[in-house]
Structure 1
Amino acid sequence: MKLSFSQSSISKFKLHITGSKSISNRYLILKAQFPNIELSGLSDCDDTRVLHKALTTLKEKGDEIDIHHAGTAMRFLTAYLSSLPNLEVVLKGSKRMHERPIGILVEAMRELGGHIKYLGSEGFPPLKIHGKSLQKDKISIPASVSSQYITALMLIAPSFKNGLTIYLQSKVTSKPYLMMTAASLKSIGVEVDLQESHIQVHPKTKIEPKTIAVESDWSSASYFYSCLALMDQGEFELSTFQKNSLQGDSKVAEFYKLFGIETRFKGDSILISKKAGVLLPEKIELDLNDTPDLAQTIAVTCLGLNIACNLTGLHTLKVKETDRLVALKTEIEKFGAEVEISNESLQLSPKANLKESVSVQTYQDHRMAMAFAPLAIKVDLTILNPEVVSKSFPDFWEKIKALGIQQNR
C-alpha cells in the first residue's frame, strides 16, 4: 500500500478507538470462570476474536485450537486450559508462534500439577494439554522475560482451592501489565496482594453479577500521537479513555510532551493538541521497560522529526511477532538514518532528508505497519502486507485516512 499525505486535509477531527486488547483478553479469561460477568466495548481485533472463539467453542475431548499470531491468547490459554479437569486439547498457532518461547510458563504449570506435552521443539508450541485440577498454592517464576506468563497464572488463581502465591524471580518487566491484571481481578471482587517480591491471589468461588465496560486502547492511540507530532499543528479528540487508566501505555501522553503534544481529558475523551513552532529537543532518552509496545512508534516519530533517540528496556521486543529490534533497524535504515541495537536498546542517529518511496516490510507484525504509517506525513512510502493491522486495530487504515494520509493499493 502506497501512502502519501495531503497538506489540504483538516487538522481537527474526532475518532473512537477500539477497546483495549489487553483488558479485553483478561476479562474474557475471567468471564470463562465467572459467566455472570457481562462485557461491553470489547476489542474487535483478531487476537480478541481468536481468544473469544476458543473459549466459547471449547470441547472436552479431542479439540484443536489454532490461535494464529495471537501471543496473548497462547499464554493465557496455556494456563487456563491446563486448569480444566478432563480436558484434552492441542493448542497451536502460526509458524512464528511456534518460534516464540513458552517454556517458562509450561514449566510453571507442570510444577503446579498440570500435564502439558510439546508436540514440536522443546520449549515452544504447539502443545498437547491434558487439563487437571491444580492443587498447589505456591510457584516461583522468572519475572524478566514476559509479564504475560505471570498474568496467565494470576487469571486462573481464583479457581485454586487456596488461591496462589507467585514468587517473582529477577526484575519485573512490563510491571503496568501486572497492575492491570491485579486491577481486573479486584474489579470483580478477587483479593490481590501485589508486592515487589511476590503476588498473592486469593480464592474466589463466585462473584456478584458484574458489567464491565472496556476502555479504548492506548497503544492504538499512540499512532495518532505520532501523526500529530509529525504535523505542524492540530488537535485530535480520541475516545473512550480514562484518566486513571489501567493501561501502562497511557504513558504515551507523558512521553509525547517531548514532541510538543499536550493531552487533556474531556469527559471520556482525550484532546491532544500541538501548536505551531514548538521547539523540539535534539535527542531524547527513554526507559521503556514498562511500555515496550511504544518503542516502534517513538522511534519512527524521532526519525520523522530528525531527533536522535536512545531507547532502553527493550529486551522483550526480540520475542514478539518478529524480532522488533532487528526489524526497526532494518526498516529505519532504508530511509538513510543509522541505528544501533543491543539486546535491550535502540539508538537512532537521524537523517535530515529522508529517502523517498521506501518500501517498509512489516514481518507479519501489526505494530511495524502502524508505527511507520504516520511517517507518510513527512515522506511518501509503501507499507507491505498492510492487512496485518487486523491483529489489534482492524479499521486502522480507515481511521488515518481521515487525517489526509492517502492510500493506493
Structure 2
Amino acid sequence: MNLLLQKISISSPPSVIKIAGSKSETNRLLLLQALYPELKIENISNSDDSEVMQKALQSNKKECHTDLVDVHHAGTAMRFLAAFFAIQEGKEVILTGSSRMKERPIQILVDALRQLGANIEYVENEGFPPLRISGKKITHNNVSLAANVSSQYISALLLMAPKLENGLELTLEGEITSVPYIKMTLALLHEIGVKTSFKNNIISVSPQLITYNSQLITVESDWSSASYWYSIIALSAIGTKITLSSYKENSLQGDAALVEMYKNFGVETAFNGNESISISKKNNNHPSSIIQQLNDSPDLAQTIAVTCFGLGMGCQLSGLQTLKIKETDRLQALKNELEKLGATVMITDDSLQLEPSSFIRENVTIETYQDHRMAMAFAPLALKTNIIIEEAEVVSKSYPNFWTDLKAMGFHISEI
C-alpha cells in the first residue's frame, strides 16, 4: 500500500491522541508474565512485535515435541524468546523469522546462553537464526558480554535470570551503551519483587519463584511513537498544540529524552496531572545545526534527522552503531531517502551528518525498506511538501493506528 500525503498546514488538531503502551515495556512484561503467570498487565502495545511475542509465548503451552516459532521481523522477540525457551525444561523449539531476520546476527546472545549451559544449535547459517533450542535446567550463573552490544541481548539474559536456580551475575566488558533500556528491564524486575544490583559493570539478579510485589502493572504509552508527534509539532506553525496520553514524567523509557531534545526545535512539553503530555510549538529560534549523542536512544535518529531536514537545519548524530542491524541498515536508508529530497548526508558506521539546507524536492517517493520507523519518520514532511510513502502498512510493527491518527490531526492521506 502506497500513500500520498498532500502538503498541509494544521489548523485545528484533535484535543487528545491516545497512544498504545510501550512496545519495549510490553515485550519485557509479556515475557515476565510467561515466567510468573500471576502477573497482570494493562495498556499493552497493539504492535505487531507484541502480538508476535504473545503468540510465541502461547506456543509454549502446547504439548508437542518440536514447535516452530516464527517471529517474522520482530528482533526484540527473537532475542527475548531465545533466552526464554533456553530455560523451558523438556521443550524444543525452532525459533525463526523473516529473510531479513535470518541476516541479523545473534551469535553474541547464543554464546552467552551457551556459557550458562544452554543447548542451542544453528539450523542454517552459523551466528544467525533460525535456532534449534532444547530447553533445560540451567545452574551456571556467571556470564560476560561486551558492554557495547545491543541492550536487547543484555535484557534477554536479565529477564530469564530470576528463574535460574542460582540467579545471574552478568559482567559487562567495556563502555556500556543503551543504559536506559537496561535500567528499564531492572526496574520492571524490581516492580515484581526481584532483587537486583547494577554496580560498576556488574549486574546481579537474585533467583525468585513468584512475584512478591505488584501483580498488576500498567504499561506507559510508547515514547518512540510520541517522537513522530514531536516532529509534527516542530514542523508546524507557532501555537500548534496537541495532547498525548498516557505518559509519565518519571518514565522508564530512554526515548523520553525527546522532551529535552525537541526544545532545540521550539517544542515545549507540559506534563499534566492525568498522565498525559501537551506538546506545543513555542518559537522558531532553532540553531542552524545540532550535535546529538544518541547512544541511549538510537530509535530517535530517523525522526530527529527528518525534523532537522524539514526545518532547514543540519545535525551531527552519533552513537548509532546499532542502527545497521535493525529492520534495515537505517543509516544507509536515511541517507538514500534524504538525498532523494535534496539533502546532503554523510554517514559512518555509527554516525550521520546532515548539512543545513532550505531546499526540499516535491512529490518524492520514500522507500521504507520494511522498516516501520522509516515510514513514520518521513510522514511529518507533508507539512512542507507532497510526499509518497511506499509500503505504508509497515507501521503496524509498532504503531498500527498511525495513519488513522494522522488523518485525525488533519493530514490529507490517500492510497495510490
Gap change, CA 1:242 and 1:20, over 3 Å in 2: same
Paired position in structure 1 for 2:31: 29
1:345-374 per-residue CA deviation (whole Å, 9 max, x = no partner) reads 000013312000000000000000000000
Asked if 2 retains the 8 angstrom alpha-carbon contact of 1:9 and 1:403, the reply is no
In structure 2, C-alpha distance between the alignment counterparts of 1:310 and 1:316, rounded to whole Å: 16
Cα distance per residue 1:46-100 (max 9 Å; x no partner): 0000000111122352110000000000000000100111111100000000000
Tell me the secondary structure at the aligned position of residue 409 of structure 2. Answer: coil
Gaps of 5+ in 1: none
Cα separation, 1, equivalents of 2:315 and 2:8: 28
Distance in 2 separating the partners of 1:65 and 1:362:
26
In 2, distance between residues paired with 1:228 and 1:375?
11
SS in 2 for 1:321: coil
| Equivalent position amino acid for 2:236 in 1 | M
Instruction: Report deviation, 1:196.
Output: 3.0
Q: Tell me what 1:76 maps to.
A: 80
In structure 1, distance between residues paired with 2:322 and 2:241 = 33
Q: Which amino acid aligns with 2:53?
A: L
Amino acid at match of 1:5: K
What code does the residue aligned with 1:7 have? S
Q: How does 1:236-275 map to 2 (within 5 A)?
A: 236-267=242-273, 268-275=275-282
- Indicate whether 1:227 and 2:232 are aligned: yes
| Alignment TM-score, normalising by the size of structure 1 | 0.98
SS in 1 for 2:252: coil
Match of 1:332 in 2: 338
Q: Which moved more, 1:47-56 or 1:208-217?
A: 208-217
Answering whether residue 171 of structure 2 is matched by residue 167 of structure 1, we say: yes
- 1:303 matches 2:309: yes
Aligned CA distance change for structure 1 residues 259 and 8 (closer, same or farther; 3 Å): closer
Q: Distance in 1 between matches of 2:9 and 2:380?
A: 14
Distance apart, 1:6 and its partner CA: 3.1
Q: CA deviation at 1:103?
A: 0.2
Counterparts of 1:160-199 in structure 2, within 5 Å, are 160-199=164-203
- The DSSP-based 3-state class of the residue aligned with 1:199 is strand
- Correspondence 1:211 to 2:216: yes
Q: CA RMSD in A?
A: 1.0
Once residues 54 and 11 of structure 1 are traced to their aligned partners in structure 2, the CA distance between those partners, rounded to angstroms, is 38
| 2:366 aligned partner | 360
Give runs of aligned pairs for residues 10-409 of structure 1, distance below 5 A.
10-11=12-13, 13-58=15-60, 59=62, 60-208=64-212, 210-233=215-238, 234-267=240-273, 268-275=275-282, 277-409=283-415
Matched pairs, number: 408
* Cα pair 1:147 1:174 within 8 Å, conserved: yes
Change (3 A) 1:8 1:216: closer
User: 1:170 Cα deviation (Å)?
Assistant: 1.9
For the 8 Å contact 2:269–2:280, the answer to whether it is kept is yes
Cα distance in 1 between the residues matched to 2:13 and 2:91: 54
1:172 is displaced (CA, Å) by 1.3
SS of the residue 2:279 aligns to = strand
**Given that residues 90 and 128 in structure 1 are in contact (C-alpha distance below 8 angstroms), is that contact kept between their aligned partners in structure 2?**
yes
SS of 1:69 mapped into structure 2 = coil
Q: TM-score, normalised by structure 2?
A: 0.96
Indicate the residue corresponding to 1:4 in structure 2: 6
Cα shift at 1:317: 0.3
Determine helix, strand or coil for the equivalent of 1:42: coil
Q: Distance in 1 between matches of 2:272 and 2:29?
A: 26
Measured after TM superposition, the shift of residue 7 of structure 1 is 2.8
Unmatched segments (≥5 aa) in structure 2: none
Residues 11 and 207 of structure 1, relative CA distance in 2, 3 Å threshold: closer
Moved segments of 4+, more than 4 Å:
none
Contact kept, 8 Å, 2:88 with 2:136, in 1: the verdict is yes
Bigger mean CA deviation after superposition, 151-160 or 209-218: 209-218
